[in-house]
Structure 1
Amino acid sequence: MKILDRYILVTYLKTFFSVFIILMFIFVLQTIWLYISELAGKDLDVWIVLKFLWYVSPRLIPLVLPLTILVTSLMVFGSFSEKYEFAAMKSTGISLQRAMRSLTVFILVLAAVAFFFANDVIPYSEYKWQNLRRNIAQVSPSMVISEGQFSQIGDDFNIKVSKKSGDRDQFLNDIVIHKKNSMRPNGNYTVIIADNGELASEEGSNTLSLILNDGYYYDDVQVKDPKKQMRKPFAKSYFETYTINIDLTKFNDTDIDKENEVNNHNMYKISELFVEIDSLSNSYTKDIAVFSENMHIRTGATKFGISQPVKPDTIRPFTTIVDFYNEKQQSEILDLALTNVRGTLQTVKAKKTEFQIKTKRLNKHEIALHEKYVLALACIILFFVGAPLGAIIRKGGMGLPMVVAILLFLTYHFIGIFAKNSAEDGTMHPFIASWLSTVIMLPLSIWLTYRATTDQGIFDIDTFLQRITGLFKKKE
Structure 2
Amino acid sequence: MKILDRYILTSFLRTFFPLFIIIMFILLLQTIWLFISELAGKDLDFSVIIKFLTFATPRLIPMVLPLTILLTSIMIFGNFAENYEFAAMKSSGISLQRAMRTLSIFIFFVGIGAFLFSNTVIPSSEKRFINLRKNIVKVKPAMVITPNQFNDLGDINIKVSEKYGDNDQFLKDVIIHKKAARPGNFTVIKAVEGELKGSVNSDLITLVLNDGNYYDEIQQRSPKRRNKLPFAKTHFEKYILNIDLSSLGNVDMDAQQYSKGYNMLNVNGLRHEIDTLSMQVNDEIRGTGEEVNRRIGYEGLNRNMKIDTVQVSKNESKDTLDLMSIFSTTQKIQIYKSAITNTDGVTRKINTLEKNTTTKRRFLNKYEMSLHDKYALGISCILLFFVGAPLGAIIRKGGLGLPIVIGVVLFLTYHFIGIFAKNSAEEGGIPPFIGSWLSTFIIFPLSIFLTRRATTDQGIFSFDNFIQPVRDFFAKRASKSKK
Cα 1:42/1:317, change in 2 over 3 Å: farther
Contact 1:138 1:144 in 2 (8 A): no
Cα 1:13/1:221, change in 2 over 3 Å: closer
Q: Deviations 1:364-384 (Å, cap 9, x if unpaired)? A: 222122111111111111001
Q: Which residue of 1 aligns with 2:308?
A: 310
Contact 2:169 2:197 in 1 (8 A): no
Q: Secondary structure at the match of 2:111?
A: helix
> How far apart are residue 315 of structure 1 and its match?
5.3
The unaligned stretches of length 5 or more in structure 2 are 316-320
Residue of 176, 189, 192 corresponding to 2:189: 192
Cα 1:424/1:474, change in 2 over 3 Å: farther
Matches within 5 A, 1:400-419: 400-419=402-421
Q: Which residue of 1 aligns with 2:156?
A: 158
Contact 1:223 1:229 in 2 (8 A): yes
Distance 1:355 1:171 in 2: 40
Q: Secondary structure at the match of 1:59?
A: helix
Distance 2:195 2:162 in 1: 11
Q: Secondary structure at the match of 1:460?
A: coil
Q: Which residue of 1 aligns with 2:429?
A: 427
Contact 1:208 1:247 in 2 (8 A): yes
Matches within 5 A, 1:367-446: 367-446=369-448
Cα 1:99/1:330, change in 2 over 3 Å: same
Cα 1:452/1:178, change in 2 over 3 Å: closer
Contact 1:135 1:258 in 2 (8 A): no
Contact 2:288 2:350 in 1 (8 A): no
Cα 1:138/1:317, change in 2 over 3 Å: farther
Q: Which residue of 2 aligns with 1:300?
A: 297
Q: Deviations 1:399-438 (Å, cap 9, x if unpaired)? A: 1111111110011111111111121222211222221111
> How far apart are residue 335 of structure 1 and its match?
3.0
Distance 2:284 2:201 in 1: 50
Contact 1:161 1:173 in 2 (8 A): no
Distance 2:328 2:62 in 1: 72
- Structure 2 counterpart of 1:161, which letter? K
Q: Which residue of 2 aligns with 1:461?
A: 463
- Residue 85, structure 1, aligned to residue 85, structure 2: yes
Distance 1:224 1:7 in 2: 84
Contact 1:126 1:266 in 2 (8 A): yes
Distance 1:111 1:238 in 2: 65
- Structure 2 counterpart of 1:49, which letter? I
Q: Which residue of 2 aligns with 1:362?
A: 364
> How far apart are residue 136 of structure 1 and its match?
1.9
TM-score, structure 2 normalization: 0.85
Distance 2:284 2:469 in 1: 63
Contact 2:137 2:249 in 1 (8 A): no
> How far apart are residue 282 of structure 1 and its match?
2.9
Q: Secondary structure at the match of 1:398?
A: coil
Matches within 5 A, 1:37-436: 37-146=37-146, 148-153=149-154, 158-161=156-159, 163-166=161-164, 168-170=167-169, 172=171, 174-178=173-177, 190-194=187-191, 196-199=192-195, 201=197, 210=207, 212=209, 215-219=212-216, 231-238=228-235, 242-244=238-240, 246=242, 255=251, 257=253, 259-262=255-258, 263-306=260-303, 307-311=305-309, 321-436=323-438
- Structure 2 counterpart of 1:193, which letter? K
Distance 2:421 2:17 in 1: 31
- Structure 2 counterpart of 1:17, which letter? F
Contact 2:157 2:179 in 1 (8 A): no
Distance 1:133 1:378 in 2: 31
- Structure 1 counterpart of 2:436, which letter? S
> How far apart are residue 294 of structure 1 and its match?
1.4
Contact 1:123 1:268 in 2 (8 A): yes
> How far apart are residue 463 of structure 1 and its match?
4.0
The unaligned stretches of length 5 or more in structure 1 are none
Distance 2:406 2:183 in 1: 62
> How far apart are residue 223 of structure 1 and its match?
9.1
> How far apart are residue 149 of structure 1 and its match?
2.6
Cα 1:333/1:305, change in 2 over 3 Å: closer
TM-score, structure 1 normalization: 0.86
How many residues align? The count is 468
Contact 2:19 2:68 in 1 (8 A): yes
- Structure 1 counterpart of 2:40, which letter? A
Distance 1:216 1:471 in 2: 87
Deviates more, 1:300-309 or 1:47-56: 300-309
> How far apart are residue 23 of structure 1 and its match?
0.6
Cα 1:321/1:176, change in 2 over 3 Å: farther
Q: Deviations 1:51-109 (Å, cap 9, x if unpaired)? A: 12211211111111000000111111112222222222222222222222221121111
